[in-house]
């Protein structure tokens, strides 16, 4: 299952790159959220137009289909940085020190390999759509922008994975229990305190402590 995570920071080059890259990831995630908001407005307009004026939005299904790639993929790297992807922590949650970082390093390397394969395949898919002028069925909406989002988002995810690999290798070398730039699993008490802090704002002092 997915656990609650935190990412530590310091003044190292790795941490500075992590913070800079996180700004890009946050902006992309915000863009994905804006797309969802626009889809809600589009759906509302479509329903009201059909109900009141018997005039639905032309190509509504086409717009929805093309928009799905944006909100589905733009937040991948952000979620990876925050440790939000679904994972099984039953075994990993009981590991500590270099053994834990070695397991995390191996799994991240595997993720990077799969991601690079997906980048290549999705880019070729976009290239074919662009070259043949592929379009949607209803209003002939070009589909290559949506297909381009996939390799771009996966490339950003690959860069995030490279940063995390750097972090895990650094933790292995230093034997650090609390490395920077990688998601650290929090215990139940720390996770509950973090959620309470997020809800209450400044009314509660920070209590987030990594496992």
> Per the domain annotation, does 210 fall within a domain?
no
Residue with tokens 């991240």: 108
- What is the count of structural domains for the chain? 1
pTM of this prediction? 0.85
Nearest partner of 9 among 209, 191, 188, 182, judged by Cα? 182
What's the pLDDT tens digit per position in 128-140? Answer: 999 999 999 889 9
> Per the domain annotation, does 87 fall within a domain?
yes
Q: How far is CA 96 from CA 70, 147, 182, in A?
A: 37, 41, 14
> Per the domain annotation, does 118 fall within a domain?
yes
> Per the domain annotation, does 204 fall within a domain?
no
> Per the domain annotation, does 205 fall within a domain?
no
> Where are the strands (E) in 158-197, listed by range?
183-185
Distance CA 116, CA 108 (A): 12
What's the pLDDT tens digit per position in 155-208? Answer: 999 999 999 999 999 999 998 888 999 998 766 566 666 667 767 765 555 555
Residues in the chain: 211
Which residues form the domain of 108? 5-199
> Per the domain annotation, does 206 fall within a domain?
no
Token pair listed for 127: 């290239």
Query: Using an 8 Å Cβ cutoff, are 29 and 78 in contact?
Result: yes
Query: Using an 8 Å Cβ cutoff, are 80 and 160 in contact?
Result: yes
């Amino acid at each position: 299952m997915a656990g609650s995570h935190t990412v530590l920071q310091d003044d190292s080059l790795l941490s500075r790159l992590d913070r800079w890259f996180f700004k890009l990831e946050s902006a992309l995630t915000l863009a994905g959220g804006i797309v969802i908001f626009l889809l809600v407005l589009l759906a509302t307009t479509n329903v009201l137009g059909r109900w009141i004026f018997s005039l639905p939005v032309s190509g509504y299904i086409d717009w929805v289909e093309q928009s799905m790639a944006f909100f589905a993929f733009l937040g991948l790297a952000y979620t990876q940085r925050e440790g939000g992807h679904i994972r099984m922590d039953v075994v990993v949650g009981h590991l500590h020190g270099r053994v834990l970082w070695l397991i995390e390093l191996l799994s991240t390397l595997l993720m990077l390999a799969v991601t690079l394969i997906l980048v290549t395949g999705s880019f070729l898919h976009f290239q074919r759509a662009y070259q043949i002028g592929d379009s949607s069925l209803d209003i002939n909406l070009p589909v290559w922008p949506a297909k381009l989002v996939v390799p771009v988002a996966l490339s950003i995810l690959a860069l995030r994975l490279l940063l995390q690999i750097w972090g895990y290798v650094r933790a292995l070398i230093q034997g650090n229990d609390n490395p920077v730039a990688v998601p650290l699993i929090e215990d139940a008490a720390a996770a509950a305190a973090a959620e309470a802090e997020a809800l209450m704002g400044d009314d509660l002092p920070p209590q987030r402590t990594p496992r």
